[in-house]
Structure 1
Amino acid sequence: MEIILESTITCPNCGHQKEETMPNDACQYFYECENCHQVLKPKEGDCCVYCSYGTKACPPIQEGSKKTAVKRQGLWRPSDCFLKTVLVYIQDMLPLLNFTHIMPQK
């Protein structure tokens, strides 16, 4: 199955539409509308803004990954797509962190 990376996001606040290229390795949890600057977050049960407000589902969902949250025993728990997003975010942020003030260099 071919993964489609282009999706048009429609802002629920102002109706502005913009075609975006989705990341192919994670779900995008936040998106700022360039028109009204509203920060979009996924609707409950969706893994990302593309699944909530886009014309195409995100690549992990297109590939068949489970949604971000799975309801078990009345609780919403993170699942595949969300955990992958968090891991990618942490990996991207690690080089920016400077721990030398906490742990001196030897």
Structure 2
Amino acid sequence: MGTGIADPTGNITLSDPARIALEPGIYAISYQVSALLAASGFMQVSPYYNGSPHLEYGIYFMTGSGRTSAAGSVSFLIEVPARTVFTLTFNSPVRATEGTLTMVIFKLR
């Protein structure tokens, strides 16, 4: 991941290319992923924050036969009671290439 526009308040910071630190508060999060899967299978992307995975805000895409493009998007609100690290976990039994991720995080008042 990379930063498009840095949060001047410091509430949302990119810790490293895979982790985002969120300070306490309520956040609106939206993300979209896509990839080309080399064979039949699935793509699963799950957010992790507040010390646990959250499958209810994940993306699951099952493909048909052969090389297939897989995509999904989700938007949700979360409450962060204490500083937490937000990550996305990608899981697939088949090789994925040409993947993209777009994520937008807003801290609400």
TM more than 0.5? no
TM bin, normalised by shorter chain, reads under 0.3
Greater Rg over alpha carbons, structure: 1
State TM-score, norm by structure 1: 0.25
Greater share of strand: 2
More helix by share: 1
Work out which structure has the larger RCO, using CA pairs closer than 8 Å and 6 or more positions apart in sequence. Answer: 2
